[in-house]
Amino acid sequence: MIKSMSKRMINLSKSLAFLLRDTARDEGLDIDCEGFVDLNSILALPRFAKYSEEEVMRLVETSDKQRFSLAVTSDDGSGSHVRIRANQGHTIPDVNPGLIRITDPERFPKVVHGTAAELYFALIRFEGLHRMGRNHIHLATGEPGESGVISGMSDDSSIYIYVDIEKAMADHYDFYESLNGVVLTPGNEEGFLPSKYFSAVRHKDAGYDLDDYVKNDFLRDEFKLINVADFRFLIHPTTHKKYSRIRRLGLRKTKGNYVNLISSEPSCKQKEIQVLIYLQVAKVAGEAAEKFKFLRFQEDGEIFVSGFLSADYFEKVVEAKTGVLLPF
């Protein structure tokens, strides 16, 4: 596991991955169509000068996610020639690191993409998965920790998107398997795998399908789907410290993958309420059917919205105690 690696080896792994996946060609290194680069040429670069060939080979052998592979050949009896490549994750065009085209989707009964909740609610559920500058979208053959799952998603992913690759392949999407067991697809011409190919979307802790969140009989007692068009206010209370981030990134999840809101102006005696973000009710409500679901929490009447709210939806931002308008 990477957590048990020394800081030195972690830095080496990250530096190698960045070089082999993204910058080798830009740095003047020869990278072949299989993704291999001469190891001595890499160690000659200033930032790798402190590492030895033995350390690199040990990293390759012990990598829990099997990120790299080596090719060792003899040099006419005078020694060995070592080349290294990243097994997947490339942004460099025309690099195909030993990928095997998938022709039988039944070999992969479970294919999963892991992501962050804010990305899913803000983008992915509308647009689908995107390769995001890489050559491929990355998919795992199960959840982290399951038998046989080596790589394919970050361990801190909170949302699991299950992909029906049989359905996608029937629509002429290509899928490949990497040497370390990651399933890859370039998506369509724009690099997308549309959400119609998602068979399920689940939170890793809750386990239920997010699309059934408000339909679930158990949860129906807790949350109620509501229309907010007639609300006078939709306000997100926060602190100065948190607002500095919200101003840059917009409103994101706070509880159960939802943004919390209130529908009346609060008492400002609470120390934690320092900033009030007022939303444009008509604009948010007008797009609710397409982008958002609004739910009321039955216990205390708090409102939650499933989605990412950028500053485009803000009407005004005020300092709670003074009423002074703040920039956004």
pLDDT tens figures, 141-159: 888 767 656 556 776 787 8
The side-by-side arrangement of strands in the sheet containing 176-177 is 100-101, 176-177, 183-185, 137-139
Torsion of CA 16, 21, 22, 26, to 10 degrees: 80
Between the two ends of the chain, the Cα-to-Cα distance in Å is: 42
Length of the chain: 328
pLDDT in tens, 49-79: 999 999 999 999 887 778 898 988 876 666 6
> Residue 184 is inside which H or E element, if any?
strand 183-185
For the chain, what is the mean pLDDT? 81
Q: Which CATH architecture has domain 219-319?
A: Alpha-Beta Barrel (3.20)
Same fold: 100-212 with 219-319: yes
> Which two structure tokens, joined as six digits, stand for 20?
């082999």
Instruction: Report pLDDT digits (tens) over 178-225.
Output: 888 889 999 999 889 998 999 888 877 665 566 544 334 333 344 566
State the Cα–Cα distance between residues 273 and 169, nearest whole angstrom.
Answer: 51
Q: ∠ CA(26), CA(130), CA(90), 5° rounding?
A: 30
pTM flag (> 0.95): no
% of the chain exceeding 70 in pLDDT: 80
pLDDT recorded at residue 90 = 87
Closest CA to 124 of 173, 191, 195: 195
Cross-strand bridge partners of residue 86:
68
Mean pLDDT of 120-137: 81
**Which helix (H) or strand (E) segment is 306 a member of?**
strand 303-306
Q: Which of 147, 156, 183, 185 is nearest to 168 (CA)?
A: 185
Q: Which of 17-21, 281-285, 291-295 has the lowest mean pLDDT?
A: 291-295
CATH no. of 100-212: 3.20.170.30
The residue extents of the domains of the chain are 2-86, 100-212, 219-319
The CATH class of 2-86 is mainly alpha
Residues whose CB falls within 8 Å of the CB of residue 152, separated by 6 or more in sequence, listed in order: 112, 114, 138, 139, 140, 141, 181, 182, 183
Amino acid 53: pLDDT: 92
Please check whether residue 132 is in contact with residue 193, taking contact to mean a CB–CB distance below 8 angstroms. Answer: no
207-238: b (≥16 Cβ within 10 Å) or e: eeebeebbeeeebeeebeebebeebebbbbbb
How many Å apart are CA 68 and CA 166, to the nearest integer? 29
